[in-house]
Structure 1
Amino acid sequence: MFYAIAVISIITLIIFGIDKRKAVKHQRRIPESTLLSLTFLGGTVGALMGMLIFRHKISKRSFLLKFIGIIVMQIILVYLYKKILIG
Structure 2
Amino acid sequence: MTLLTFVAFGWDKRLARKGKPRLAESVLLMLTFLGGTFGALIGMTFFRHKYAKKTFILKLVLVVAVQLALIFLLKEHLTDQR
Q: TM-score, normalised by structure 1?
A: 0.90
1:61 aligns with 2:54: yes
Q: Aligned match of 1:16 in 4, 9, 17?
A: 9
Matches of 2:79 and 2:20, distance apart in 1: 47
Q: Identity of counterpart residues, as a percentage?
A: 47
Which segments of 5 or more consecutive residues in structure 1 lack a partner in the other structure? 1-7
How many residues matched? 80
Runs of 5+ consecutive residues of structure 2 not aligned to the other structure:
none
Match of 2:73 among 59, 67, 80: 80
TM-score (structure 2 length as normaliser): 0.95
Say what the alpha-carbon RMSD is for the aligned residues: 0.6
Larger radius of gyration: 2
Distance 1:49 1:82 in 2: 27
1:86 deviation in Å?
2.5
Q: Deviations over 1:59-86 (max 9, x none)?
A: 0011000000001111111011101112
